[in-house]
Amino acid sequence: MNPSRLKVNIGGLSAFDLLERMEAIGIKLNSLALEMLKDEHFRTEESVSTVEVVPLSVRELGLPHGGTLAQAIDAAESLGYQLCPRELGPHLRLAYTDQGEGSIGFDATQHQAPPGSITVVDQRPNEHESEYRGFYLRRIEGTLWLRGYKSWSGHVWQPQDMLVFTTARNAAPSLKRRANSRPRCRALPFSLPRGRLLPPA
């Protein structure tokens, strides 16, 4: 089952906090997702805000034969949806615990989104760069995963692939930032040891 307009709070937790919470409830990460969370450019907002998550298939975006991520983003924006903040990936993983199975009974895939996965769209690919990275969510043999992936601007997403966008963001009432104040961000303050939260070999 895919979430239909699920509201998720983001902010208020550091990358380390997010890792601890995912570990506590048995969520696994692949090596790339862990690397992305440990990266100095990964930022989390100190103030809590609420985003409304909207999962849409590439077909639902008006691309019946598939399309590149840039084409999917253009289609989503024409419908009034927005790119996700990068920190939504782990927050959505924590909130979305009833994701359907995406491994048992399905054939393995290569170079395309796996069955049952949903991809968090948090950036527009730069056609001058060789690759971009992102998060996707999956359940594999009953285990919830936050996984990282690499792709390139010319990759064609299939009509059935599920992409996550958001509607306009709203500050949580009790934690709303003061008007005209500058946002402060937190990054992971230190490097975690390699191998933590990784799947078995």
Say if 178 falls within a structural domain.
no
Q: What distance, in Å, lies between the first and last C-alpha atoms of the chain?
A: 29
Range of the domain at 142: 6-167
Dihedral, 54, 58, 61, 64 alpha carbons, nearest 10? -160
Say if 177 falls within a structural domain.
no
The amino acid at 72: A
**Residue 2: pLDDT above 80?**
no
Distance CA 25, CA 10 (A): 18
110 alpha carbon, distance to own chain's centre: 20
The residues that bridge with 170 in the sheet, in sequence order, are 50
Using alpha carbons, list the distances in angstroms from residue 99 to 8, 13, 67, 188: 15, 23, 25, 28
Q: What is the pLDDT of residues 131-168, one digit of tens each?
A: 899 999 999 999 999 999 999 999 999 999 999 999 96
Distance CA 132, CA 108 (A): 23
List the one residue out of 186, 177, 184 whose CA is nearest residue 43: 186
The residues that bridge with 45 in the sheet, in sequence order, are 185
The residues that bridge with 19 in the sheet, in sequence order, are none
Say if 146 falls within a structural domain.
yes
What average pLDDT does range 102-111 have in this prediction? 71
Number of domains in the chain: 1
Say if 195 falls within a structural domain.
no
Q: What is the pLDDT of residues 17-64, one digit of tens each?
A: 999 999 999 999 999 999 999 999 899 999 999 999 999 999 999 999
**By the 8 A CB rule, do 94 and 3 touch?**
no
Say if 80 falls within a structural domain.
yes
